[in-house]
Amino acid sequence: MYENIVRLKLEAPDGKLRETDVADTQTLLRIIQSIPSPKAEPFKQWLARTGYERMKEIADPEQSLVRARENWKKLGRSEKCLPAVA
């Protein structure tokens, strides 16, 4: 997975461009899974829970709509713009 990490010049807080290791989301998640540290464990459990919830949404797309509606409301957006859930 480390061969998927590349170096890009990104702007640092001081305004200078510095070479920085970057990777896509899938590679970053695989790296996190491989960290053998108790400090990484809460994040690993969050990933597992999120993955499980996503699998349930794939099996029952209505759950995805319900979650989207809840997130929309949490953001304080108008309920008039929400699509109806069957």
Residues 6+ apart with CB under 8 A from 33: 44, 47
Enter the pTM of the model.
0.56
| Three-state secondary-structure class, residue 83 | coil
Contact 56, 63 (CB under 8 A): yes
Q: Quick one: 2 and 44 in the same domain?
A: no
Same domain, 49 and 27: no
- Please give the Cα distance from 60 to 85 (Å, whole number): 13
The domain tally of the chain equals 2
Percent of the chain at pLDDT > 90 equals: 36
Tell whether the model's pLDDT for residue 30 goes beyond 80: yes
Q: What is the mean pLDDT of residues 60-86?
A: 79
Reduced to 3 states (helix: H, G, I; strand: E, B; else coil), residue 76 is coil
74 shares its domain with 52: yes
In this prediction, residue 64 carries a pLDDT of 85
Residue 34 has pLDDT above 70, yes or no: yes
Q: How does pLDDT run across 48-66, given as a tens digit for each residue?
A: 999 898 898 889 888 888 8
| Three-class SS state of 85 | coil
Most confident of 1-5, 52-56, 65-69, 74-78: 52-56
Helices and strands, counts by H and E, the chain: 3, 2
**pLDDT at position 20:** 94
Residues of the domain holding 48? 38-86
